[in-house]
Chain A
Amino acid sequence: MAETKKYWKGIEELQDSDLVKNLQENEFASEISNEEFLGDKESLDSSNTSRRDFLKYVGFSTAAATLAACETPVIQSIPYVVAPEEIIPGIANYYASSYFDGADYASILVKTREGRPIKIENNKMAGINGGANARIHASVLNLYDATRSRFPLVNGERKSWNKFDAAVTADLESAAASGKQIVLLTSTVISPSFKAIVAEYQAKYENFKHVSYDMFSYSGKLDAYEASTGKRAFPTYKLQNASAIVSFDADFLGDWIGQNVSGDYAVRRKPGKNMSRHIQFESNLSLTGSNADQRHKLKPSQVGMALVALHNEIASAKGATTLSNAKASAEIKAAAKDLIKAGKNGLVVSGHNSADIETLVIAINKLLGNDGNVVDYDTRTYLRQGNDKDMAQLITDMNGGKVGALLMDNINPVYRFANDGKFEAGMKKVACTLSFTEKSDETASKAKYICAKHNYLESWGDAMPADGHYSLQQPVISPLFNTRQTEDCLLNWLGKGESYNDYVAANWNNNILNGGSWNKTLHDGVFASTTSMVEEVITDVVEEISSTINLDMNMAAEKAAARLTKSKSSDFEVLFYQKAGMGASVLANNPWLLELPDPVTRLSWDNYVTMSAADAISMELMNRNLANGALNGSMVTLKANGQELNAPVLIQPGQAAGTIGLAIGYGREGAGKAADKVGVNAFTLMNGSHSAGITISKAEGEHEFASFQMAHTMMGRKIVNEVSLDTYLNKPAKSETGKGWNQPTVFETFKGPLGAEETNLWDDFDHETGHMWNMSIDLNLCNGCGACVISCHSENNVPVVGKEEIRKNRNMHWLRIDRYYSSDMTEEVAEAEGYEGIGIMPGSKGVTDMFAEMEKASGSPEVVFQPVMCQHCNHAPCETVCPVAATTHSSEGLNQMTYNRCIGTRYCANNCPYKVRRFNWFEYHNKPDRFGVNYAMNDDIGKMVLNPDVTVRTRGVMEKCSFCIQKIQLGKLDAKKKGQMIKDGQVQTACQTACDTGAITFGDVNDKDSAVFKLKSDDRMYHLLEDVGTQPSVFYQTKVRNRA
Chain B
Amino acid sequence: MVYTMKNRFNRRLPQAILSILLVLSTFFVSAQDIEGDVAKGKSIFNSKCAACHKLNKPSVGPALAGVTERRTREWLQKWIRNNIEFRASGDADAIAIFEEFKGSLMTPFPGLSDEDIDNVLAYTAAEPAVPKVETPDGIPVPEPDNTMVLLILGGILFFLVFLLTRVKNTLKAVKGDPTSSIAEDADRITRTALKNPKITTLLTILIAIVFLQQTYLGLMEIGLKQDYQPDQPIKFSHKLHAGENQIDCNYCHYGARKGKHSNIPSASVCMNCHMNVSEGPKYGETEIAKIYDAVGWDAEKAAYIEDYEVKPIKWIRIHNLPDLAYFNHSQHVTAGQVACQTCHGPVEEMEEVSQYSPLTMGWCINCHRETKVQVESNEYYPQMHEKLKEKFGDDAEITVEMIGGLECGKCHY
Binding site for B on A (CB under 8 A): 70, 72, 74-83, 88-91, 766, 768-770, 886, 888, 890-892, 894, 896-901, 949-951, 962, 965-966, 969, 972-973, 975-982
Given known contacts A89-B261, A977-B335, is B404 in contact with A892 (CB within 8 Å)? Answer: yes
Tell me if A81 and B268 are in contact (CB < 8 A). yes
Given known contacts A77-B264, A91-B260, is B380 in contact with A976 (CB within 8 Å)? Answer: yes
Tell me if A89 and B407 are in contact (CB < 8 A). no
Tell me if A898 and B266 are in contact (CB < 8 A). no
Q: Per-residue CB proximity of B233-258 to A under 8 Å, as 1/0?
A: 00000000000000000000011001
Tell me if A77 and B403 are in contact (CB < 8 A). no
Tell me if B334 and A977 are in contact (CB < 8 A). yes
Tell me if A75 and B266 are in contact (CB < 8 A). no
- Once the chains are docked, how many angstroms separate the CA of A297 from the CA of B18? 101
Q: Chain B: interface secondary structure?
A: loop
Given known contacts A79-B266, A899-B412, is B391 in contact with A766 (CB within 8 Å)? Answer: yes
State which of B20-28, B86-94, B382-390 sits at the interface with chain A: B382-390
Report the minimum CB–CB distance from B194 to chain A (whole Å). 29
Given known contacts A70-B222, A79-B312, A90-B328, is B264 in contact with A981 (CB within 8 Å)? Answer: no
Report the minimum CB–CB distance from B181 to chain A (whole Å). 41
Most B-side CB within 10 Å, residue of A90, A949, A951, A982? A90
Tell me if A81 and B294 are in contact (CB < 8 A). yes
Tell me if B225 and A72 are in contact (CB < 8 A). yes
Contacts of B380 in A (CB 8 A): 972, 975-976, 978-982
Tell me if A82 and B259 are in contact (CB < 8 A). no
Top 7 A-B pairs ranked by shortest CB distance? A90-B260, A896-B409, A90-B259, A83-B266, A77-B317, A976-B335, A769-B387
Write 11 A-B pairs (CB below 8 A) sorted by A numbering. Answer: A79-B264, A79-B267, A81-B294, A82-B266, A82-B267, A83-B265, A90-B260, A888-B407, A898-B408, A900-B322, A976-B380
Query: Of all chain A residues, which has the CB nearest B392?
Result: A769
Q: Per-residue CB proximity of B301-319 to A under 8 Å, as 1/0?
A: 0000000001111111100
- Once the chains are docked, how many angstroms separate the CA of A894 from the CA of B255? 30
Binding site for A on B (CB under 8 A): 222-223, 225, 230, 254-255, 258-261, 263-269, 294-295, 310-317, 320, 322-324, 326, 328-331, 334-335, 377-380, 382-384, 387-388, 391, 403-404, 407-410, 412-413
Contacts of B326 in A (CB 8 A): 949, 966, 969
Contacts of A978 in B (CB 8 A): 380
Tell me if A90 and B261 are in contact (CB < 8 A). yes
Given known contacts A976-B378, A981-B380, is B266 in contact with A80 (CB within 8 Å)? Answer: yes
Report the minimum CB–CB distance from B328 to chain A (whole Å). 7
Tell me if A76 and B316 are in contact (CB < 8 A). yes
Tell me if A973 and B316 are in contact (CB < 8 A). no
- Once the chains are docked, how many angstroms separate the CA of A973 from the CA of B333? 11
Tell me if A89 and B259 are in contact (CB < 8 A). yes
Identify 10 new A-B residue pairs, CB closer than 8 A, beyond the known A88-B255, A962-B413, A965-B409.
Answer: A70-B223, A81-B312, A83-B268, A89-B255, A89-B259, A897-B409, A969-B413, A977-B330, A978-B380, A979-B379
Most A-side CB within 10 Å, residue of B264, B378, B380, B404? B380
Contacts of B265 in A (CB 8 A): 79, 83
Contacts of A891 in B (CB 8 A): 403-404, 407
- Once the chains are docked, how many angstroms separate the CA of A863 from the CA of B66? 92
Query: Of all chain A residues, which has the CB nearest B374?
Result: A976
Contacts of A78 in B (CB 8 A): 312-315
Contacts of A70 in B (CB 8 A): 222-223
Tell me if A769 and B379 are in contact (CB < 8 A). no
Contacts of A90 in B (CB 8 A): 255, 259-261, 328-329
Of the residues B255, B310, B387, contact of A82 by C-beta under 8 Å: B310
Given known contacts A74-B230, A973-B331, A979-B379, is B266 in contact with A768 (CB within 8 Å)? Answer: no
Tell me if B384 and A81 are in contact (CB < 8 A). no
Tell me if B320 and A75 are in contact (CB < 8 A). yes
Contacts of B328 in A (CB 8 A): 90, 969, 973
Report the minimum CB–CB distance from A968 to chain B (whole Å). 9
Report the minimum CB–CB distance from B229 to chain A (whole Å). 12
Tell me if A770 and B403 are in contact (CB < 8 A). yes
Query: Of all chain A residues, which has the CB nearest B383?
Result: A981
- Once the chains are docked, how many angstroms separate the CA of A890 from the CA of B312? 43
Tell me if B407 and A890 are in contact (CB < 8 A). yes
Query: Of all chain B residues, which has the CB nearest A950?
Result: B413
Tell me if A899 and B324 are in contact (CB < 8 A). yes
Tell me if B316 and A75 are in contact (CB < 8 A). yes
Tell me if B388 and A894 are in contact (CB < 8 A). no
- Once the chains are docked, how many angstroms separate the CA of A134 from the CA of B222? 46
Report the minimum CB–CB distance from A901 to chain B (whole Å). 7
Tell me if B294 and A898 are in contact (CB < 8 A). no
Contacts of B410 in A (CB 8 A): 969
Report the minimum CB–CB distance from A918 to chain B (whole Å). 15
Contacts of B264 in A (CB 8 A): 77, 79
- Once the chains are docked, how many angstroms separate the CA of A769 from the CA of B230? 46
Report the minimum CB–CB distance from B273 to chain A (whole Å). 15
Contacts of B391 in A (CB 8 A): 766, 769
- Once the chains are docked, how many angstroms separate the CA of A206 from the CA of B331? 65
Tell me if A965 and B413 are in contact (CB < 8 A). yes
Of the residues A76, A89, A901, A962, contact of B263 by C-beta under 8 Å: A89
Query: Of all chain A residues, which has the CB nearest B304?
Result: A82
- Once the chains are docked, how many angstroms separate the CA of A90 from the CA of B254? 12
- Once the chains are docked, how many angstroms separate the CA of A976 from the CA of B268? 31
Contacts of A976 in B (CB 8 A): 331, 334-335, 378, 380
Query: Of all chain A residues, which has the CB nearest B268?
Result: A82
Of the residues B255, B311, B317, contact of A75 by C-beta under 8 Å: B317
Contacts of B330 in A (CB 8 A): 973, 977
- Once the chains are docked, how many angstroms separate the CA of A932 from the CA of B319? 33
Tell me if A979 and B403 are in contact (CB < 8 A). no
Query: Of all chain B residues, which has the CB nearest A894?
Result: B409
Of the residues B222, B382, B383, B408, contact of A888 by C-beta under 8 Å: B408
Query: Of all chain A residues, which has the CB nearest B387?
Result: A769
- Once the chains are docked, how many angstroms separate the CA of A897 from the CA of B409? 7
Tell me if A77 and B316 are in contact (CB < 8 A). yes
Query: Of all chain B residues, which has the CB nearest A976?
Result: B335
Most B-side CB within 10 Å, residue of A77, A894, A973, A979? A77
Report the minimum CB–CB distance from A91 to chain B (whole Å). 4
- Once the chains are docked, how many angstroms separate the CA of A979 from the CA of B381? 8
Report the minimum CB–CB distance from A407 to chain B (whole Å). 35
Query: Of all chain B residues, which has the CB nearest A892?
Result: B404
Query: Of all chain A residues, which has the CB nearest B408?
Result: A898
Most B-side CB within 10 Å, residue of A81, A769, A890? A81
Report the minimum CB–CB distance from A1028 to chain B (whole Å). 23
- Once the chains are docked, how many angstroms separate the CA of A149 from the CA of B267? 35
Contacts of B310 in A (CB 8 A): 81-82
Report the minimum CB–CB distance from A246 to chain B (whole Å). 47
Contacts of B225 in A (CB 8 A): 72
Contacts of A975 in B (CB 8 A): 380
Query: Of all chain B residues, which has the CB nearest A66?
Result: B222
- Once the chains are docked, how many angstroms separate the CA of A722 from the CA of B124? 89
Contacts of A89 in B (CB 8 A): 255, 259-261, 263
